[in-house]
Each structure stands twice: as C-alpha cells, then as structure tokens.
Amino acid sequence: MRFASRFACLSVGLACAVASGCGQKAGTGEQPVAAGDAPADGQVVAEAAKPAAPSPLPTPAVPQPAEAGAPGKTAPPAQEKPQPGGTPGGGRATAGPSAGGGQPLWKKAIGGSKSDSAYLKLPADGGAWPWKFAAAPAEQPAKPVWFNGYGTAETRTTGVVVSPSAGRAVAVLTKTTPTQFTNHLIWCDLSTGQTTGQWSLDGDCVPLDIHPDGRQVLLRRERARSGDMMGARIELWTLAAGQAPKIQRWFVDPDHSPAQTTLTWGGFVGGNRVATITAAGRFEVWAADTLARVGWFDAVPCVPAVSPDGTAVAVQVSTGVALYSATTGTIVGTRGVPEIPTYTIFAFRPNAGALACVGEGRVVTLDLESGATGTTRMTDLHPYAAGRQPEIGWADSRHVFAHDTLYEIGVALPVWKYSRAVWAKPVGRQVWALVPPRNERDLVLTAFDLPHPTAKQVDPNAESRPGVFTLKPGDAIKIDVAGVEPPRRDETYAALEKLVRVIGYRPAKTAAVSLVATVDLDGPTRRYAANDLQDRGLPSIMTYKERHARLKLIKGDAILWEDAATTRPGSDDPDSSTRSTGNPDYRLYSRAALPPFIRGLADLPTTAESYLTPRGRIVTPDAWKKDTSPMGPS
C-alpha cells in the first residue's frame, strides 16, 4: 500500500529523531554507565547490564585563536584508551542511592489512573483566555564557539540546545570510525566563546532542552532493548565546571507499547519542572529535584512548546491546543484551532503574541490576544526530519524558519534558503546555527539575525502569476465516486469531502479538476507463502486476486496525481473464513496524501539563497566562493 499513514510515518520519524543513550564523563572522572535491562518491580531500579570499563578523556585544551579576529578553537579530546580504575581529577556521577559500583539508579515509571491526584483535567468551559505571557528574556552578548574536528564526514551533529539569556549551550557531537562511534556532550560558554566542559557518552544521546540557568540539560536516552516495557528513558544532567555531573534518571509512560513510549519531546517549565511527551501522546510533568510526577494526561501526539517566559507549555488535544501552567500546576485553558495539523509542531513567537502550529505543507497561527486563527499553505514545507529533533520556530513576527528555509505567513512560496549550516534553529529572537569554516573539518556555533534585509524585499505576490500553479488551496474540486461499489459510495464521498477540505480545496459540483475514486473489478492472480500456514493445516501457498482502490486528480485528459491501495498478504488471519487479502483498501479515501499544490507550466520563482558563515555573516554564494579566508568574508 503506497499511501502509508502519514501519522505513522511522522511518529516513526520523530521517534528516530529522539532515539538516544548516555554514560561516561570525560576529563572529570565520571564512572561510565552501560545501557541495560531494568527490573520489572520496585520504585527505584538500577541498570542491570555490566558496567563498561572506565575510559578517560583529558580535560579540554584551552582554546587558541584560529586567526586574527576569529573565534577561539577548542582542541578535540584525545583518543580514548580504556584502563582499569577511575579517571583522575573528579568523582563519580551522582544520582542518589546507587548499586553495583556506584551506578546511578533508574526511577521506575508510574502508570496512569484518572483517579490519581496528579491527573490533569481539561477545563470544561475552555478555561482562561486570553493567554498572556512575558516576552522572551533578552539575549546576552555572545561569541562564536569553535569545535575542532567535528565537521568531517566521520562526524555528525546529534543535537544542540541553547539558552541565549544564560549565555550557555550544550552540543552533542559524534565521531565515528569503522569499528565504533563516540559521542561527546560539550558545554559551552557563549559569553567567552569557550567550552566549559565535555564528557564522553556511552551510546547515543539527544539533548532536548537546556534550563534557563544554563547548568541543567535534559537528554533522551536510548531504550535498552525493543521489549523493554519500563517506558521511555530520560536523563537530567546538572553540570559544573571541573566536577562530575549529577545525573538523575527515570522512566516515563509505562502504559503503552515500547514503540509508542519513545520520548518525542521534553522541556523545562516553571524553573523546577520537567515536561515530557511520548509518541503515544502521554504528557507528564515531573518535579526536577525529586522526580515525583506532579501531573499527567493523555494528549494528542505532537511536539509541544514552552512559552517565551518559560512558565507554560502548549500541547495538542483533540479540540485544538491546551495550555499547562507550571504556576498553577493545572491545564488552565483550551482553544479550538481549525485546520490544526495531525501532528503539530508548536512554536511561540518570542514576543508572546502568537502560537504557530506547524505541519506538513501548512502553518496555522493562533493570535494569543484575539483568538483569531489563520492558515497558510506552503509549498516545500516538510517540518519532520528523521534522525533529529525538529528545527523550527519564529525568525521574527512574520517569518517561520524550518531547518534551512524561511517562510512568510500568508505566502505559499519559500522566501529564502540559508545554506551551509549542519544544524540551525530559532531560539529566542535569533537563529542559532552550526556552520563549518572553509576547511569543513571544524564546526562553529554562532547566532544570526534573520531574515536579513535582502530577504525582506522578496515579492510576496510572485505566486499569483498565471500558470504558476495548476491547483492550489482555495481552488474548486469535483468529487467523482461513480467508480466505487454502490454500497460504499456515500461513505467514500464523505471521506473524500473531508480530505479535500482539510487540504484547503473547495468541494464543488462542477470544476476544472476532478478527484476520481475507482475500485478494480478484477485483478491479477498473486501467490504468497506463509510460514505458519502448514502448522494450521492449511496449504503453505496462498493465491488471491489483487484489486486496488484508486484515486486520481484529473484535469482534462491529464492525470495530475494518483495513488492506489490494496490489502497486502499477512494483514488478515489465515484461519479466517473470509480473507481480505487482495481486496481494495478503502482507507485510501480518508488517508491519501493529496498534494496541497500542483505546479503549472509557468516557471516558478527560484528560491533565493545565501550562505551562513562562521563569523555570523550572511553572504551570497558568489561572495563566499571569491573570498579565500578560512572564516569567509569579514
């Protein structure tokens, strides 16, 4: 079935984005902790796997300037060489009671019960409105931070979290060899452009958030094994220069299957609270000091957002969006948001005036004062990136930045593309990025003010030229279900009408473009073998007729888009007297990924492009190529 559920894909993509793991401190003597299986009972559980041997890393070298006027460079850690005993210069990581050689313990997850005093109830009347917050705190002056040797093909960026108000950042960067990989958590002082400390991680670990004080970082750790039913794992590291970090570890959401309990988001809220959400939508709030769960409810799977002043969290619910307040410890309000995406990535505008609800191909904005909503359908907006957290947010009051591209609210076409960054994300009022210098062996973390003046001069009406789009949101579409079996025509029409409206088209009795649904009356004979058929006394080879449900967008004689779906082998019980294998899959008509835009014959305006440089400058590709200095044009 080629159409595959978009929600399932998004959940898998974000689950991949946050798969992670943690362990040993470098240069300060933290005992490594290996990922392992946890016991099934007890309030506090320790890792059961055999601890890895200590593997020291030297204290990071004092950064040296790369060139006049360039930010300081930090030498990479030396090659790790396992040796017996601990590492000099520091104690072991602490996390309360320990077992088995001083390893930090895991706190067991708590199941959900609506009778629990921590259960968060949605207000029946919609609760408080409007939602008022203070604007994001002012950014502290910052200098670029240089990472030696992390820009090569043998390295990758797992994630970066930045606190501009505290002047701190944490990056998790990975170096690989043919036989192993090594992750490094690097703590940065943005006011000096130096690294304050770095630690080697035993396995993958994705940073989710950094505390406003710049000294605590929230990490998603990889599940020990696919059958681990303890729930998703999370770690809270408290950092201090020259000392072993304090590590608190716990599980979340034990009530869903392992695939659904993947932690997709986590963030600090209210100063002393940690909020999390899993792929199943379980939203939980924890006391950062004791790890006690102080709130939970089952939301809609999404990527929540913390308010600009850090006091509240926006999370998706069936009716739209709900607001959790750390001040009251309750859901203070809900708000309906028409056309909210199925799997929303939320982002508050830094001035606290609006909330963006970002999804595939569209951004829905909610004005936090008036309650007005608006939907912008955007070409080429693909916010979900497998293997990393979404890099999306407001660049200013009118523009949304997604991964490397700038979009304007109310405009379908991308405004500008910013290239050369291996990671870039809006934080506060700036876009922070990891950019390689010309040698492409290193990386530099620096901030940019976007959009730059040239981007603001782009003509927003270019998309209105005749012939740019054959089909776009707002256009009329005729729905034709004559080719569907009569008993199922009404339900098919209703499903397609809903699908068309969600995309932004207008169902109409007459239109230049038709959405045509048909079902195969016959099909080719297929065969497949199932290992368990003989065990059930059935023939080991099964034959069936393969028939498809089909869907096409047609204009005149031209097919603009098409899709088809059939029930694949193995999707029904071989013992069943009525098998569905090979039958048309009618779910296509409610799940098909209709394109919001179909381009016409006219040339689309080319998205303009600029390069981000390690100096924090934005230059044209030609200017970068002509300049030969390591850091680019000054």
pLDDT, tens only, 433-483: 999 998 888 999 999 999 999 887 777 666 666 667 888 888 999 999 999
Domains: count for the chain: 2
Helix/strand/coil (H, E, C) string of 324-340?
EECCCCEEEEEEECCCC
* Strand residues in 270-412 grouped as ranges (E): 273-278, 282-287, 293-298, 305-306, 312-317, 320-325, 330-336, 345-348, 354-359, 362-367, 373-377, 392-394, 399-402, 405-408
* Pair (388, 494) in one structural domain: no
Tokens in use for 107? Answer: 């706190």
**397 and 295 inside one domain:** yes
Among 288, 292, 264, 368, which Cα is nearest to 323's? Answer: 368
Kindly state the tokens that stand for 294: 């102080």
List the one residue out of 362, 378, 452, 364 whose CA is nearest residue 411.
378
Distance CA 104, CA 85 (A): 18
Segments of 71-128 assigned E as strands: 72-73, 98-99, 103-107
Given the DSSP bridges, would you call strands 558-565 and 312-317 parallel, antiparallel or unpaired?
unpaired
Alpha-carbon gap, residue 381 to 358, rounded angstroms = 9
> Are residue 73 and residue 210 in the same domain, yes or no?
yes
Peptide bond between residue 436 and the one before it cis (omega within 30 degrees of 0): no
397 and 531 both lie in a single domain: no
Helix (H) or strand (E) holding 169: strand 168-176
CB-based burial label for 607 (10 Å; 0-12, 13-18, 19+): middle
Q: Which domain holds residue 275?
A: 7-78+107-462
pLDDT of residue 539: 62
Cα 127 to Cα 116: distance, rounded to the nearest angstrom? 21
What is the C-alpha separation between 84 and 81, in angstroms, rounded?
A: 10
Instruction: Please indicate, yes or no, if residue 89 is contained in any of the structural domains.
Output: no
Q: Are residues 170 and 214 in the same domain?
A: yes
Extract the tokens encoding 88: 């000099």
Residues 428 and 474 placed together within one structural domain of the fold: no
Say if 632 falls within a structural domain.
Answer: no
Residue 593 has phi, psi (to 5 degrees) of -90, 75
Q: Do 149 and 205 share a domain, yes or no?
A: yes
The pLDDT score that the predictor gives to residue 542 is 75
Give domain status of residue 102, yes or no.
no
- Look at strands 312-317 and 305-306 and give their pairing: antiparallel
Alpha-helix runs per DSSP H in 50-158: none
Q: Which of 428, 462, 496 is the last residue of a domain?
A: 462
The whole-angstrom separation of Cα 29 and Cα 445 is: 27
Task: Give the Å distances, CA to CA, from 307 to 269, 290, 547, 571.
Answer: 8, 24, 50, 44
- Alpha helical stretches, state H, 426-562: 489-503
Phi, psi of 604 (to 5 degrees): -75, 145
Question: Is the residue at 396 inside a domain?
Answer: yes
Rounded Cα–Cα distance for residues 517 and 513 (Å): 13
Say if 627 falls within a structural domain: no
Residue after which a domain boundary falls, among 462, 493, 514: 462
For residues 448 and 484, state if they share a domain. no
Is 189 part of any domain? Answer: yes
Domain boundary among 401, 430, 462: 462
Distance between CA atoms of 236 and 246, rounded to whole angstroms? Answer: 8
Tell me, yes or no, whether 237 and 279 share the same domain: yes
Q: What's the pLDDT at 162?
A: 97
Q: What is the pLDDT of residue 105?
A: 59
Domain check: are 147 and 243 in the same one? yes
Does 591 reside within a domain?
yes
Counting as low any pLDDT under 50, the low residues of the chain are 1-103, 224-230, 572-578
Alpha carbon distances (Å) from 70 to 143, 391, 423, 428: 10, 27, 20, 25
Residue 83 counted as domain residue: no
Beta strands of 449-599 (E only): which ranges?
A: 469-471, 476-483, 506-507, 513-519, 525-529, 541-545, 549-555, 558-565, 598-599
Among 325, 333, 338, 324, residue whose Cα is nearest residue 374: 338
Instruction: Provide the CA 488 distance to its chain's centre, in angstroms.
Output: 38
Give the whole-angstrom CA distance, residue 196 versus residue 60.
8
Shared domain for 237 and 359, answered yes or no, is: yes
Asked whether 323 and 366 are in contact (CB, 8 A), the reply is no
Are residues 371 and 442 part of one domain? yes
Distance CA 66, CA 73 (A): 6
- The CATH number covering residue 47 comes to 2.130.10.10
